[in-house]
Structure 1
């Protein structure tokens, strides 16, 4: 999961987006590339979640941006 832009805690995925367990903020469901701001493709396999940018390749969950 991506990190909260406010307190850098891992976000929990919910049906309507992402929630920060530390500060209680809610974020949209689309993580963005930290380099270009484009929407990232979410890749899920065997319980792992990864992100892919068509311009910059793989993006770690700790670098993904949520808005």
Structure 2
């Protein structure tokens, strides 16, 4: 099951350098939020792995606990 659905029409988003909905013709960015304090997380990418860091809590967060949201880009 695809978890990358358009927040407007619920169609599947495609990847074209950014998330894009062909039905709505809108582009989105995927933003992660801290499960404890709801602050926007910083995505750290290295060696093919992605980690999420909360500057407010000053610690790494597990991807499985992060709340993701699509926002217009």
TM-score normalised by the chain length of structure 1:
0.58
Query: What is the number of equivalent residue pairs in this alignment?
Result: 46
Contact in 2 for aligned 1:52/1:59 (Cα 8 Å): yes
List gaps (5 residues or longer) in structure 2: 4-14, 21-27
Higher CA-based Rg: 2
1:60 to 37, 59, 62: 62
More strand by share: 2
- In 1, the alpha carbon distance for the partners of 2:60 and 2:40 equals 12
List 4+ stretches of structure 1 deviating above 6 A.
none
List gaps (5 residues or longer) in structure 1: 5-13, 18-26
TM-score normalised by the chain length of structure 2:
0.54
Query: 1:40 matched to which residue of 2?
Result: 41
CA root-mean-square deviation:
2.1
